[in-house]
Amino acid sequence: MIARFPSIARLLKRRAKSEDGSIVVEGARKATGGKGRTRIVMTMAVFFGIYSTITGRLVYLGFQNPDLSGGPQSRVTASRPDIVDRNGEVLATDIKTASLFAEPRRIVDADEAIEKLATVLPEIDYEQTYHKLKSGAGFVWLQRQLTPKQQSDIMQLGVPGFGFRTEKRRFYPAGETSSYIVGLTNIDNQGISGMEKYIDEQGLSDLQASGLAVAKDLKPVQLSIDLRVQHIVRDEVATGMEKYRAVAAGAVVLNIKTGEVMAMASVPDFDPNNPYNAQDKDRLNRMSAGLYEMGSTLKSFTTAMALDSGKVTLESRFDASRPIRIGRQTIHDFHGKARVLSVPEVFIYSSNIGSAKEAEAVGIEGHREFLHRLGILEKMQTELPEVARPTEPKVWKQVHSITIAFGHGVSTTPLQTAVGCAALLNGGYLIQPTFLRRAQEQAMSVAKKVVSDKTVEGMRYLYALNAEKGSGRNARVPGYRVGGKTGTAEKVVNGRYSKDKNFNAFVAAFPMDDPQYIVLTIADEPRPEKPGMGATAASNAGVMAANIVRRSASMLGVKPDFSHENGATLVSYQ
């Protein structure tokens, strides 16, 4: 047994040679134990030092700013809610896409990597990409939002250090049809214009920053627009711009009972799925962000103001036999009758002289107050961020009141003009426009009474009369009782009114026996359709309005009534 353990045998021999072996063995044990404890303590001290260093380093790093070069921020792929029209048709939605990144520290040959990448992405900036790949960073973006084919082709290149991250990007099924309303997002899926920007301003950006913008929790945002009507409006203004060789055109369809914008388009526009030209200077939502002298459409407000003041009735008459001279200016009528005109005649003949005298009857302060009351000279309150502030003289003088009476001297937006005209026809209530769905009860809770019922009754009569006997004849649509007012304004060029460049507008309402909708169209610098023809609003903006009513009325729920000859009806006025 002892032979199997040589070390024990040697110990016993040593013990046998000693007179007091027990003491010898015990001393050896004590000597051995003291050295062992020293080694253990030293080992523990070393490990304690190592772990203390690691712990201290981790605590230090914990208080440092995170290294964002290691990957994209989480908000890059943050979700957005769908945007849908009033019928649930999708206008904007998120789709998944791949984005290419590189890890420069793993790139062996930057030149070779770029040469291979250029075979798939020929538009890539060689110099910029080279600096990225030679930066030594842990992560750099090379190209965002690739197509599936591009991703597949790059993967087949087999370049070490290239990788892909799945992101979300915005897709707009309607394309340019609703581009100015829906708006745009940037490369990081953040709203930068239109309703996309409005949604972010309502708290979505905060949700994205906190990581709480989860797709399943985001309800669709339902707009007021009807995509079917929106398509018609965009098609008509694009056709009109080409047909009349205008520099721009636009239109809006407004529910006058609720203030809902049913459709609105402005051309030139852009494709939000490929917005390479969205920042071009001619890409402007002219309906809400463009300021214009609205010409004779403002005579609607001049006549309404005169009637609402109580100083003028439809039976009142104004001498328009001679031009008005004030200072260095002389006010003429475009198609003058050179005689005394009744208020209806002032309206249907679009008399500048008669309108100026209506304004004189009310007075300068009353004139200014009325336009502010109807919101024409106030900044419009609505969800769309792109809204311009109207301009007016700092101090109104007599000459200003006279020229503003027929549409020169103040600038406002076409959408505001439509909203103001709606107030003259819907019972006298100013309702700020909305691009979100809104019931009539909700609209009335925020509506403001601005003109009397008697004034509304008179304006309905005048709109219907103008479509039957005046400048609005081209806007008539059989069965839909359309009324309206033209507006042809000379544009200011180099500080002077041009005789060759006009801004034309037409405001139509239907059905005139109980108006439901306003259609306002514009044509910027139109040319005659044919040699010898004029280029006034009746021959272009009025025709565009008629086409929109003809194509969209049934979709808007307006039933035709052919009991009135020529599609118009004269609203009785008592």
Spell out the alpha helix ranges (H) of 250-397.
Answer: 299-309, 343-348, 352-362, 364-373
Cα separation, 488 vs 474, whole angstroms: 15
Active site residue 296: yes
Contact 549, 262 (CB under 8 A): no
Residue with tokens 């005046």: 470
Cα separation, 285 vs 61, whole angstroms: 50
Cα separation, 206 vs 200, whole angstroms: 8
Would you tell me how many other CB atoms lie within 10 Å of the CB of residue 164?
14
Cα separation, 247 vs 526, whole angstroms: 7
Residue with tokens 């009135």: 564
Token code pair at residue 301: 């407000």
Residue with tokens 């052919």: 562
Contact 172, 92 (CB under 8 A): yes
Out of 99, 193, 224, 296, which one is annotated catalytic? 296
Bridge partners of 503? Answer: 489, 524
Cα separation, 196 vs 199, whole angstroms: 5
Would you tell me how many other CB atoms lie within 10 Å of the CB of residue 516?
18
- Which positions are catalytic? 296
